[in-house]
Structure formats: structure tokens, C-alpha cells
Amino acid sequence: MIKDKFADAIAPVGHTDDDDVGAINEILGFHIRLAHGACLRHFTETFTDLDLTQKQVSVLWLVDDHPGIAQTDLAQRLRMDRATTMAIINRLQAKHFLRRDRSPKDGRKQALFLEPDGIEMLARAKQAIGEHEAWVKSRFSDKEVRQLIELLSRIHE
Amino acid sequence: MIKDKFADAIAPVGHTDDDDVGAINEILGFHIRLAHGACLRHFTETFTDLDLTQKQVSVLWLVDDHPGIAQTDLAQRLRMDRATTMAIINRLQAKHFLRRDRSPKDGRKQALFLEPDGIEMLARAKQAIGEHEAWVKSRFSDKEVRQLIELLSRIHE
DNA sequence: GTCTAATTGTTAGCAATACATACAATATCG
DNA sequence: CGATATTGTATGTATTGCTAACAATTAGAC
């Protein structure tokens, strides 16, 4: 019944209006992190029913786009280390969303493939991503979206 | 000796070139998250010696900007819930970077103040943030930085 | 003023990264 | 063949984000 999250009204401590000193608000990285937080929060809400995280959806999506992809390749594309990738793959496998096949070409590698459950879940996830994206993009014109993607890409590429 | 992180060379699985289907690369949220990841990773590297996380620095900074701020107010500004804020404050207090004083005006609130160690650490942190910011901003013109901040603000505000 | 409701801090617990490290199996190359 | 690198795996730790419950305090309704 109690809406905990951010319902808390703030009791302003002093006088400051967030735009005084060598303000934290001038730090680009600060805004990137806040925007990410807002984004991730809305994503999580949107995916409450599907019980999937952003990382998990990304993995399903990439495995679908690249059947037989290896864990290392996945990790590289999503900028994760191998241990973290393992944890995510394990969770998805436990839910029967994907399977590991030993790669015939390279015995060290595990080729990843979506299971039927995973294919269905991905379809639903893409639907939900549509909503989520609409929420994000509602703030921008098409031109601004392209601009934003271009600028952000310079950071992570 | 082994540079684990992202040293893994990728073994391209197939043919795809990342720009075929209803690509994941067209999702704005995806780029926000990758950019955030890259940002956070560099931040963490920059702050290895200081042993501070991004959240912790933000808290120190805000407590310095708003002496006597309450935890709820902090949480609201950084978009965290109360429990998470507690954990962060506890860690910072354990390091003697700040202290809790019961607020004289509202017995429920804890007024936060930096301790001498915290003040010194924040000074060093701001130095490090300068480097970190330079790394981020090196990709952009001044105009683009302002643009980016303006656009990102629309998401988290 | 009193009683009820809301706020604030706190504690405990859980899930999901993110990372380091070490190990085994496999592949590659001199 | 033998040294080295790659890949997956297992373990362990830290941080974050959230829920749920509880006590103390305050604010509001009446």
C-alpha cells in the first residue's frame, strides 16, 4: 500500500538551488549515470511481468541475431567479462531460454542457441522494448534521437 | 599477468555485420546503457587508488554542497531508495568520511556532515573527477557537451 | 489536544551485476 | 612436442537496487 520508491517528499535542507558552485550538475558523467538510472528503472518496470533484466534481454537478442555465438563473443559485444557472462547465461539456461552446444569447430567454445521458450520470450520482450523505447524517445524529435545515438556511440565505441 | 577484462579477441561467428535486421543498435536505451557502462568502467579505474565508487563520490559531493542534508533528500537527488542510501552512508561513515547528527528541527531526520577525512577525500576525488571528465569530454566539442547534457537531462528529470 | 496517518531511519534479506583469481580443457604456434 | 593463449568454469567478494517490516517522530484530521 505504501508507495515507497521515490514518493518521499523532500524536506529542503537549506537554500541551495542546485546551481551554485562548481556544481555536480555540470559533470557530463553525472548526467549519463542519472539518465541511465532512469532508463534502467523504467526498463525494469516494463519487464516486471516478463521477469527479465536488461542484460538478459540483450543476451537473448544477440543469441537470436547470431545463432551459435560463443560466450566470449557475447561478452565482448556487451562489454562484460567472462564471469559475469557465465552468471547471465546460467540464469537463462535455468529458465530453458537457451542451450549450450559444444562448438564442433573449437572444442573450447560453447555455441549458444535459443530454445523454443527463449524464442517466444524474446518475441514478447521485443514488444516490451517497443514500449520502453517509446517512453525514452517521447522526449525527443527523430533528429535528436539520431544525434543522441551518435554522441553516445562515441563514448562506448 | 593475464589481462582478463576485454582482451578476449572475438571469433566472429558468422557473417553478420551488426547492421542487418531490426538491430539492437537502433535502440536508444541500448546506447545509453553501453555509454554508461564505459563511463562507469573508466570512473572505477580512475578511482582505484581512492577506493571510492561513483555513488559514494556523489554522496560526499552533495553532503559537502548541502551540509546537514537528510538521507531522504540525498536519496531523492540521486534517485536512490532509502535502503540503498543507508548502505552507502554506512560505508562512508565506517571510513570516517561523514557523520550523522540528529536533526534538531525534525527528530526523525539525520543531518549529514563531512568529517575532516571526508573533506580531504572529496578534494582528492574532485581532482580525479577532473581527469575522468576530461576522458569523457575528449570526444566532444564544448557545444556537443552542452547539447548532450541538455538531452540527457530530459530523461532523468 | 488526541488519535490517526505519514515520514524517516533502520534492519534484514534477496537478486543481479561486476570483478579478481584460479583451474581444466582445448587450440595454436614455434 | 612443448610453451602459450584462449575459453569456459567455479569461487568468492563488493556494490547496488529492491522489498518488507519495524520503531521513533512528526503532521494532520477531528
Full DSSP string of chain A: ----TTTPPP---SS--S-SSS-GGG-HHHHHHHHHHHHHHHHHHHTTTTT--HHHHHHHHHHHHSTTB-HHHHHHHHT--HHHHHHHHHHHHHTTSEEEEE-SS-TT-EEEEE-HHHHHHHHHHHHHHHHHHHHHHTTS-HHHHHHHHHHHHHHH-
**Helix or strand run (H / E) with residue B104:** none
Contacts of B46 (CB under 8 A, 6+ apart): B128, B129, B131, B132, B135
CB contact under 8 A, B139 and A153: no
* B102-148 per-position pLDDT tens digit: 888 888 999 999 999 999 999 999 999 999 999 999 999 999 999 99
Q: Which of residues 116-155 of A touch strand D (CB under 7 A)?
A: none
Does A135 have pLDDT greater than 90? yes
pLDDT in tens, A71-98: 999 999 999 999 999 999 999 999 999 9
Q: Which residues of A touch B32 (CB under 8 A)?
A: 32, 35-36, 39, 136, 152
User: pLDDT value at position B20?
Assistant: 35
Distance between the two ends of chain A, CA-based, in angstroms? 44
User: Which nucleotide does the CA of A73 lie closest to, via C1'?
Assistant: D7
Distance CA B96, CA A72 (A): 41
Output the CA torsion B12→B14→B18→B23 (10° steps).
Answer: -140
Q: What is the dihedral of CA B103, B106, B109, B115, to 10 degrees?
A: -10
Strand C bases contacted by the protein (CB, 7 Å): 7-13, 16-22, 25-28
Q: Residues A2-15: what's their mean pLDDT?
A: 35
Interface contact flag, A137 B72, Cβ < 8 Å: no
CA distance A70 to A75: 9
Nucleotide of closest approach to A9 (CA, C1'): C7
Average pLDDT over residues A10-35: 65
Q: Which three cell numbers stand for residue A130?
A: 517497443
A interface test, pick of B152, B153, B157 with most A CB neighbours within 10 Å? B152
Q: Which domains does chain B possess?
A: 54-156 (1.10.10.10)
Assign B111 to helix, strand or coil. Answer: strand
Non-local (6+) Cβ contacts of A36 within 8 A are: B32, B33, B35, B36
- Look at residue A85 in the predicted model and tell me its pLDDT: 96
Q: What is the mean pLDDT of residues B10-18?
A: 37
Chain B residue closest in CA terms to A13: B69
Across the interface, of B24, B37, B72, the residue whose CB is closest to A8 is B72
Percent above pLDDT 90 for chain A: 78
